[in-house]
Structure 1
Amino acid sequence: MMQINFLAILFAALVPLLMGFIWYNPKVFGKIWMKESGLTEEKMKDTSMGMVFIVSIILSIMIGFFLQMVTIHQFGALGMVGGDPDLAKPSFAAFMHDYGTAFRSFGHGALHSFMTGVFFVFPLIAINAMFERKSWKYIFINTGYWTITITLMGGIICGWYAIDGFNLVTPK
């Protein structure tokens, strides 16, 4: 059956918080982002940051689960046989024997996650921002943050499988 590397996902789920501390720091993009978002320091103080961090970690774990499917192609092969390798034809076992650990590296995961940032995250943020009448600065600050963040997350998740030797299926 499909094995999910929860430790890799949990570790990668910390990346958005760490990147956020850097990216949205007032010395980097924080002041511009606050201005373009229409936020003030007073509004920021009215928020329960503990709850924001907890929910952010939970949502980041969800992103990690998604990136696992984007970066590790063997999940797609497993999906083609209905998720149960025991019910698959012998050709599936042969395929997984030959390619079960192919393309599992930090670079491969980072590449696919970067493409997800450019071709999925950017359009989502841009469409919402245009309807919210936000500026292109706002769009590029947030898209840049998320593209770099998920690039790192996807690299960690995909690369961790290579380090751990984590198998998605055990061919018979």
Structure 2
Amino acid sequence: MEFKFTALFVSAIVTLIVGFVWYNPKVFETIWMRENNLTEEDLKKGNMLKIFGLTYIFSLMITVILMSLTIHQSGAIGMVGGPPKLESAKPSFAAFMADYGMAYRTFKHGALHGFMSGLFFAFPLIGINGLFERKSWKYIFVNSGYWLVTLTLMGGIICAFA
């Protein structure tokens, strides 16, 4: 099984695309700004190249974990010692991969695991931080909703195309 790393690079862009829509004034920007006590002037002060660049790098880091969560075959590959050891794996591994190498490799399956990652990982993290920072439930739900949608799409792309 060969991974296509271009799918990881493409899925990392999803954080920016969904962010442009999600935090648009016609969607959730107004609520998000109010809950963070931000003004338009505050938003103009940031270095957007730095913010978008680091967002993309952090998103690439997320794709590495999502790949192992959405592509179950990566666990089988890990069991034989990873890609460097594939050539020396026992014949039973090759037979297993021939039978199941593409099992559950669909957008729908990856989206399910991405959604679960958002619900059971991102939401609790944002919720815990929000509670200690004394943020409102609106803040928690707006930001968690963003990650639910983003991770769902990222998981689907990675599982189907990586």
Shorter-chain TM range is: over 0.9
More displaced stretch, 74-83 vs 85-94? 85-94
Following superposition, which runs of at least 4 residues in structure 1 exceed 6 angstroms of deviation?
none
In structure 2, how many angstroms separate the alpha carbons of the residues matched to 1:128 and 1:86? 45
Q: Please, what TM-score do these two structures have when normalized by structure 1? A: 0.88
**Residue aligning to 1:94:** 95
AA matched with 1:139: I
In structure 2, how many angstroms separate the alpha carbons of the residues matched to 1:81 and 1:133? 47
In structure 2, how many angstroms separate the alpha carbons of the residues matched to 1:130 and 1:4? 39
**Residue aligning to 1:40:** 39
* Equivalent residues in 2 for 1:1-172, closer than 5 Å: 3-83=2-82, 84-161=85-162
More displaced stretch, 62-71 vs 133-142? 62-71
AA matched with 2:49: G
AA matched with 1:59: F
In structure 1, how many angstroms separate the alpha carbons of the residues matched to 2:87 and 2:4? 21
CA drift of 1:117 comes to 0.6
Backbone CA RMSD of aligned residues: 1.3
Query: What secondary structure is seen at the aligned counterpart in 1 of 2:27?
Result: helix
Identity over the aligned pairs, expressed in percent? 60
Deviations 1:57-91 (A, max 9, x none): 11111111221111100101111122122333322
Q: Please, what TM-score do these two structures have when normalized by structure 2? A: 0.93
Deviations 1:83-140 (A, max 9, x none): 1223333221211111011110100100111011111111111111111111111111
AA matched with 2:90: K
In structure 1, how many angstroms separate the alpha carbons of the residues matched to 2:37 and 2:73? 44
Query: What secondary structure is seen at the aligned counterpart in 1 of 2:134?
Result: coil
Query: What secondary structure is seen at the aligned counterpart in 1 of 2:46?
Result: coil
In structure 2, how many angstroms separate the alpha carbons of the residues matched to 1:147 and 1:69? 18
AA matched with 1:94: A
More displaced stretch, 39-48 vs 78-87? 78-87
AA matched with 2:123: F
In structure 1, how many angstroms separate the alpha carbons of the residues matched to 2:155 and 2:34? 30
In structure 2, how many angstroms separate the alpha carbons of the residues matched to 1:40 and 1:54? 23
In structure 2, how many angstroms separate the alpha carbons of the residues matched to 1:152 and 1:127? 24
AA matched with 1:38: N
CA drift of 1:3 comes to 4.0
Where does structure 1 lack aligned partners over 5 or more consecutive residues?
162-172
Where does structure 2 lack aligned partners over 5 or more consecutive residues?
none
